[in-house]
Structure 1
Amino acid sequence: MPINPADLPAIDRPEQLPERMGIELLKLSLDEVIGTLPVTGNRQPFGLLHGGASAVLAETLGSTLSALHALPERFPVGLELSCTHHRSATEGLVTGVARPIHIGRSTSTTEIVITDAEGRRTCTARLTCLHRDTEPQTRL
C-alpha cells in the first residue's frame, strides 16, 4: 500500500542536498511530484544552470515519487539516472514534473521533465530506483 504524502520523511533539513540547492516540492501525489529549483546559486562558470543541478532536481523528484509508492515496506534507492539537456536556463526557476513509467515491487522508473520559466523543456531525465527490503544504513 502506498504511503501518505504527509508521512514522507522530510527532505528539507539543512544537511540535505535539496535544501542547500533551494529545491521546493510543490505537489506530492502517486501520479506526479512537482518541484522547483532556482537557477541563481546553481550555475556553472558560464552563467548557465549547471547540468548537475538539473540531475539533482530530477533525482529528488523521481526518488520522492518512488518513495510514495514503496514506503513503508520497501526503501527506494537510485539505481540509474539519465539526463538529456535540451537548452540552457540562465535565470528564474526551473520546474520539474516527475511521472511514473513503471512501478513494480522491486523497481520503479520515472520520467522527469524540467522546464524553464517560459515553459520550454530544458532537460528530460529518467530515474530507475531499486526498492530494497531493508532501510539503507548511513555511515558517519
Structure 2
Amino acid sequence: MHVTAVTLDGTTRQDPPMDPAALLALMPFAVATGIELDRAGPGEVAGRLPWSPERCTAGGVLHGGALMTLADTVGAVCAFMNLPAGASTSTLASATSLLRAVRGGTAHATARPLHVGRSTIVVLTEVTDDEGRAVASVTQTQAVLAPA
C-alpha cells in the first residue's frame, strides 16, 4: 500500500520517510542549527542539540531560541508522523516553559502526541539535559489541513 503525504517542505511523496535523517533533511533550518534526530515514529520522536558557543546567549547559556528550535523541530516531526494520508500541517499555537539553563553537554528533546484528532494534533515536547533534568516543556497545537 502506498500512501501519499505532503512533506514538511510542501512537496508530495509516496510512503512518508520514517528514517530520522530523511525527515531532518526536509527541514534545512533545523539542519543549519545543528539539530539531530535520533528516532521518529507516530508515538514518539526524539532529537538533540549539542551545546556550542555560537548557540549561546550571555554567560555561555544555550539560547532559549535554540531550545525552542529543537522542541519545534521534534514536535513538528511528531505531528507530521500522525497526519492522515495526503494532509499537511501548520502550527496554530506553541507554549513554552523554560525551566533550567543548559551550560554544556547536550539538550535532548522527546515529543509525544497528546491528542490526534481530525482537525488538530497536540504535541508535548519535553527537553532535558544530559542528567535527565527538565530544561523546557513545549506544547504545540497543529492544524490538520486537508489536501488541496
Q: TM-score range by the shorter chain?
A: 0.7 to 0.9
Q: Distance in 2 between matches of 1:119 and 1:55?
A: 18
TM normalised by structure 1 equals 0.85
Task: Give the residue type in structure 1 aligned to 2:110.
Answer: V
Aligned to 1:28: 40
1:85 aligns with 2:98: yes
CA displacement at 1:52 relative to structure 2: 1.0
Aligned to 1:60: 73
Q: Distance in 1 between matches of 2:83 and 2:69?
A: 20
CA displacement at 1:98 relative to structure 2: 0.2
Q: SS at the partner of 1:79?
A: strand
Q: Given the superposition, is the C-alpha separation of residues 101 and 125 from structure 1 closer, same or farther in structure 2, using an over 3 Å criterion?
A: same
Residues 37, 47 of structure 2: 8 Å contact kept: yes
Residues 129, 135 of structure 2: 8 Å contact kept: yes
CA displacement at 1:71 relative to structure 2: 5.1
CA displacement at 1:78 relative to structure 2: 1.3
Q: SS at the partner of 1:54?
A: helix
Q: Distance in 1 between matches of 2:118 and 2:66?
A: 29
Task: Give the residue type in structure 2 aligned to 1:53.
Answer: A
Runs of 4+ in structure 1 off by over 3 angstroms are 1-5, 7-10
Q: SS at the partner of 2:32?
A: helix
Task: Give the residue type in structure 2 aligned to 1:29.
Answer: G
Q: Distance in 2 between matches of 1:17 and 1:92?
A: 21
1:122 aligns with 2:135: yes
Instruction: Please provide the CA RMSD for this pair.
Output: 2.3
Residues 27, 34 of structure 1: 8 Å contact kept: yes
Q: Given the superposition, is the C-alpha separation of residues 27 and 7 from structure 1 closer, same or farther in structure 2, using an over 3 Å criterion?
A: closer
Stretches of structure 2 that go unaligned for 5 or more consecutive residues are: 6-14
**Aligned residues between the structures:** 134
Residues 48, 89 of structure 1: 8 Å contact kept: yes
TM normalised by structure 2 equals 0.81
Q: Distance in 2 between matches of 1:107 and 1:71?
A: 11
CA displacement at 1:100 relative to structure 2: 0.7
CA displacement at 1:12 relative to structure 2: 2.4
Deviations 1:74-133 (A, max 9, x none): 101111111101110011111000011000111100110000011111001101111112
The percentage of aligned residue pairs carrying the same residue is 28
